Amino acid sequence: MKFTTPILIAVLSLAASSVSRAEEIRPNILWLIGEDFGPHLGCFGTKEVSSPVLDAMARRGMLFTRFYTTAPVCSPSRSAFNTGMYQTTIGAHNHRSHRDDGYALPEGVRVISDRMREAGWFTANVVDLPEAAGFKGTGKTDWNFNREGPPFDSKKWDDLKTHQPFYAQLNFQETHRTYHAPKHADPAKVEIPPYYPDHPVTREDWAQYLDAATEMDRKIGIVLDLLKRDGLLENTVIFFFGDNGQSHVRGKQFCYEEGLNVPLIMQWPSAIPAPAGFQAGKTSDRLLMSIDLCATSLSLAGITKPANMQGQVFLGPRAEAPRQYVFGARDRCDETVFRFRTVRDKRWRYIRNFTPDRPFLQANNYKEKQYPVWNLLKQLAAENKLTSPQAFLTQPTMPEEELYDMEADPFQIKNLVASNKPADREALERLRDVLEDWIKASNDQGRIPEPPEVAKAVGATKPQPPGGGGKKKKNKK
């Protein structure tokens, strides 16, 4: 169909004015953040969890099944998704580092609350809810850098209704150990991954984790009721997601699927036109990273994404092309020194272990005290009572490389690095190159070890690993 010039001008003018009006609406944006939580809700198919609130949110909004944090532990992950930058790029990769040495973000990198405030949004990290709610937010930031001045305008829920538009975070600690939720799940009925021993200790621990998710769901229901009570529900964009992977042995702190894959549920308000790409009631398997949430939240508020931001916009008129790959990294956590890097596409996950001389269960005071299955694995290994997948976690060393076919092997049990199958070889060589290119292009600061005095101060259990990205030599066929 051909348009005459006046008609074409009118159509373009109408489209432009529609975009302009959409941007003028200035929605509120609320991040609901579950701590140490994987995709373990009814809407993801998990049994023995009761999550009617979040399941309903997924039905009203969108559920994203391939949303990944860039680090499997809170402080590097939070440093990343609050800035839209890889923690390895901005020097925030070592867990709870730079708290008292004056380290600041690189020039041009800022937390999202600063950018939102500058554009006219009121900002809050909600701790104090109305007394009737019966709980408080954790107020967690946990960033591996210093910044001048308070990062948020308020910590009070009641300030939101009188200060709009707002950008707010509300953190839920239920799924962070130690668990303390009312009992709901039946330990005999929970589904245990095959890399953990099917043992009463494991079952009870897993049930308590699901109980924590049930309690978090209840509290999120209270928050949604508060939004409705205060007349905020119809103009507030809501994101629910996890700050890093599940609080289990092979989850948090490790670069397997369990450490990086977290839920993302997005609910769009009824009073505002939905952005391009948002489909209510749909489930998306698009590859996303947590740093994309920062970029997308800014864009949905009508704020142009900074040119240097590594996060990508995935909804709205400024949406970028879907990612082909997502990346993850883990460095020192507490006193325990590892360096892992990983990349996955829609089918494969590749992991490079730069510290292969160390055991998976290298000494870590936090996990030894808080994770009963951590100690159970060691006990059953000494008694020779573990299956091969379970015993993998107790080996004295780790493979330098790991490759998993996520379609055929979703639990990542069969390492295909030594496979001679053409598809496996192609994936290994391609992802090996992709990861190495990302390490260089993103200026991965993990190539530079922490100063010896810093490692000594945190009681590191092993010497610092050698630096350098180091292209992995390709195995000869």
Structural Rg of the chain based on CA atoms: 23
In order, the DSSP letters of 207-274 are HHHHHHHHHHHHHHHHHHHHHHHTT-GGGEEEEEEESSS-SSTTSTTS-SHHHHEEEEEEE--TTSPP
Q: Are 74 and 35 in contact (CB under 8 A)?
A: yes
| Amino acid occupying residue 414 | K
Give the pair of three-digit tokens for residue 22: 């959409």
Of 80, 59, 209, the C-alpha closest to 145 is 80
Question: SS3 for 454?
Answer: helix
Q: Where does the pLDDT of residue 463 fall: very low under 50, low under 70, confident under 90, or very high at 90 and above?
A: confident
pLDDT of residue 470: 54
CATH fold group of domain 26-323: Alkaline Phosphatase, subunit A (3.40.720)
- pLDDT for residue 173: 98
Q: What does the pLDDT average to over 160-170?
A: 98
CA dihedral 346, 348, 352, 356 (to 10 degrees): 140
Residue-wise pLDDT tens digits, 405-452: 999 999 999 999 999 999 999 999 999 999 999 999 999 999 998 888
User: Does 10 have pLDDT greater than 60?
Assistant: no
What topology does CATH give the domain 328-457? Arylsulfatase, C-terminal domain (3.30.1120)
Average pLDDT, the chain: 93
pLDDT (0 to 100) of residue 100: 85
Kindly report, residue by residue over 333-375, the tens digit of the pLDDT. 999 999 999 999 999 999 999 999 999 999 999 999 999 999 9
pLDDT > 70 fraction of the chain, expressed in percent and rounded: 92
Please say if the pLDDT value at position 386 is more than 90: yes
Residue 18: the pLDDT is 39
C-beta atoms surrounding 260 within 10 Å: 31
pLDDT tens by residue, 283-322: 999 999 999 999 999 999 999 999 999 999 999 999 999 9
Q: What is the mean pLDDT of residues 269-283?
A: 96
Which pLDDT value is given to residue 453?
Answer: 85
Residue 477 pLDDT:
40
Domains 26-323 and 328-457 share a fold: no
pLDDT of residue 21: 44
The full set of domain ranges for the chain reads 26-323, 328-457
Would you call 28 helix, strand, or coil by DSSP? strand
Strand ranges, E, within 331-456: 340-344, 348-353, 401-405
Confidence band for 468, pLDDT divided at 50, 70 and 90: low
Range 176-199 average pLDDT: 98
